[in-house]
Structure 1
Amino acid sequence: MMRVLLTGASGFVGAAVQANLLADQRFSLRSVYRRVPTQVPIGLEVSQVPGLEPDTDWQVPLENVEVVIHSAARVHVMNENEADPLAAFRRANVQGTLRLAEQAAQAGVRRFIYLSSIKVNGEGTLPGHPYTADDQPAPLDPYGVSKLEAEQALQALAAKTGMEVVIIRPVLVYGPGVKANFRNMMGWLNKGVPLPLGAITNKRSLVALDNLVDLVVTCIQHPGAANQVFLVSDDEDLSTSELLRRMGRALGRPARLLPLPMWLLSTTAQLLGKKALSQRLCGSLQVDIRKTKALLDWTPAIGVDGALAKTAKDFLEQRV
């Protein structure tokens, strides 16, 4: 069996990757935790490290490992307390990641799979003009900048050492256990709250957790993945209005959408200091995954409606 090391196993994506690999007889999995859970799944080997720091010692966790899946990161901080957020992101996402990758290369790891972010490409697209994996990066916030710098450091290390690096940039990920705005949206729909979002004609790419995990697992062994950058989505883009309608159907609670003009929504949001929220609700962000599909002979494992149904089922069960 191939020995795989996973970081970020306690996160939304990492936990799903861990569950998938534990059920796959091709792999032997070791997961890294800052705090080891009290209950460890059968068949899982665990290692403890103090965190994703520039001086973390990874030698023990990396012993006999062939592939690293690196999903740990300092992620978006809603109420940022750091005086220099970019420095904080760089410490974990760039310096901490490079420390792990350098020690992985020294330990003889064959392939390093890095979970990056679509924020490396930017914050939005014009409808019908999706991002591609080979576009010039244009990150706009400290998190996106740190992810790009990590990508560049990993690519330089790959050229120097011969360790293969695979970079995956997901769009917004949803699925069972999703938190933040997506969960809030389901809460509004389930309560039958009227939403002024019925006339939004944007286009946004999303990726179901099952599809992202399937791509990560594909990249463990596929020869076409070596030293490539991949974008990933469900391969079906939705407007905010359409997403709400289909999510409502999945919940069994038809969406109550009011057709407020987009310009009025945008203006109101900016006056209330919610420009970022307005961009997510009204703006477009599309990705082109033809490269991913062609090089890996890959297609999304589950369709949008099936993924929304799984997400809704989990949401409703958690509320019982």
Structure 2
Amino acid sequence: MKVETVLVSGGSGFLGGALLRHLDTSGQYSLIAALRKECSDLPPSIRRFLFADLTADVDWRDALDQVDVVVHSAARVHVMDESAADPLTEFRRVNVDATLNLARQAASAGVKRFIYISSIKVNGESTSPGIAFTADDTPAPLDPYGISKLEAELGLKALAIATGMEVVIIRPVLVYGAGVKANFLSMIRWVQRAVPLPFGAVHNKRSLVSLDNLVDLIETCMRHPSAANQTFLVSDGHDVSTTELLRSLSAALHKPSLLIPLPVSLMSAAAKLLGKEAVAQRIFGSLEVDISKNQRLLGWVPPVSFPRALDATVKPFLDARKK
């Protein structure tokens, strides 16, 4: 598929910004970044479309003029400590209503393909040992964020049928890379400070995806004819336990691995008493995805290895030590 002009929403975010910088470097596209505020991190060659808030009232007509592909990465993201009185309503307002508003206007403007960055939470929260989620599993979201992402997917699929605009859905697992925040950043800081951690005997399996691998799949889905109206899961194709991840981070940061092998059952019981079961599930539970569909339909395999991706992730911390 020929692609000339691309609109990326969430252009100042972790994923949207990385995608725009990558596409700009290739020199193959005319790029538009949809932003809530001006962003100095983007190349000056990228056009800006500013909006006050991501709602169902945004008028996208000027931004969508002559656009071939929309990559919608802006969202109300999942948070561990939700403060909204009615979280589902808040997630729906942004992740469903605002998404479908953009998609409807994109279809009216003649956009050929709409790529929606969804979430593995549409599949569910965990997998049993040796059984991975696939892109064609029956969705089973358990929290308001995952529910809102599924509802947006269903609305987009209906819109694709009604209008002929192609829709591609990508459900990433946990994304890491240079500039990562939240829990992954906390892990890096713990390891960098050589803090002893009680995770030396965790034998789960977690799928992760590096920012570079996710960006590469998105670009592939922008152009590949077989991506049309498909759903893809994405990972590095290299699943690790929590113990293995922390040891790999230690090696990348040139720090000793200070992992104490406490029993997982004991730590899980303590987490339950403290009301931290969701945190325990992320640390001790498994979540694996099968990305064989990506290779089968698109010929896509992750171009960046797990060790290289970890090195790129910790590079800012190593560079800071040299200053």
TM-score (norm 2): 0.97
Q: Structure 1, unaligned stretches of length 5 or more? A: none
Q: Deviations over 1:135-165 (max 9, x none)?
A: 0000000000000000000000000000000
Superposed, 1:39-188 pairs within 5 Å as 41-188=43-190
Runs of 4+ that moved beyond 4 A = none
Cα distance, 1:40–1:210 mapped onto 2, change above 3 Å = closer
Q: CA offset at residue 127 of structure 1?
A: 1.2
Provide the C-alpha distance between the structure 2 equivalents of 1:23 and 1:209, rounded to a whole number of angstroms. Answer: 16
SS of 2:209's equivalent in the other structure is strand
Provide the C-alpha distance between the structure 2 equivalents of 1:198 and 1:143, rounded to a whole number of angstroms. Answer: 31
Q: Which residue of 2 aligns with 1:13?
A: 15
Q: CA offset at residue 191 of structure 1?
A: 1.2
Instruction: Answer yes or no: is the 8 Å Cα contact 1:49–1:58 preserved in 2.
Output: no
Q: CA offset at residue 25 of structure 1?
A: 1.8
How many pairs does the alignment contain? 320
SS of 1:61's equivalent in the other structure is helix
Alignment RMSD: 1.2
Q: CA offset at residue 78 of structure 1?
A: 3.9
Provide the C-alpha distance between the structure 2 equivalents of 1:42 and 1:186, rounded to a whole number of angstroms. Answer: 32
TM-score (norm 1): 0.97
Superposed, 1:263-274 pairs within 5 Å as 263-274=265-276
**Which residue identity is paired with 2:88?**
L
Q: CA offset at residue 271 of structure 1?
A: 1.3
Instruction: Answer yes or no: is the 8 Å Cα contact 1:177–1:315 preserved in 2.
Output: no
Q: Deviations over 1:27-83 (max 9, x none)?
A: 110111111235752211111122221111110110110100000001123443322
Provide the C-alpha distance between the structure 1 equivalents of 2:135 and 2:40, rounded to a whole number of angstroms. Answer: 40
Q: Which residue of 2 aligns with 1:255?
A: 257
1:237 aligns with 2:235: no
**Which residue identity is paired with 1:37?**
C
Q: Which residue of 2 aligns with 1:316?
A: 318
Provide the C-alpha distance between the structure 2 equivalents of 1:300 and 1:231, rounded to a whole number of angstroms. Answer: 12
Provide the C-alpha distance between the structure 1 equivalents of 2:115 and 2:320, rounded to a whole number of angstroms. Answer: 32
Q: Structure 2, unaligned stretches of length 5 or more? A: none
